Amino acid sequence: MGALTVVEEISEQIPKLLVGVSGSDKSVRIYDLERGVLLAAEFGHTEGISDLALVSMALL
């Protein structure tokens, strides 16, 4: 993941490999590793994040 970019719109193509990252800043970021783009970021958690679950919308 040398160079990452941020995308305004998420492609209709479903990424094959998503990576969830959390740091000491208490944020969560989701990357499409194949394209090297940031898909989403959430900030403002009051505690550190230790787990992440991704659920397919097809299952809902």
Model-level pTM?
Answer: 0.61
Full DSSP string of 17-49: -EEEEE-TTS-EEEEETTTTEEEEEE---SS--
Indicate whether 4 pLDDT > 80. Answer: no
pLDDT, residue 10, reads: 57
CB-neighbour burial class of residue 57 (10 A; exposed 0-12, middle 13-18, buried 19+): exposed
Indicate whether 1 pLDDT > 50. Answer: no
Digit-coded pLDDT (tens) for 13-48: 676 778 888 878 888 888 888 888 888 888 888 887
pLDDT, residue 41, reads: 87
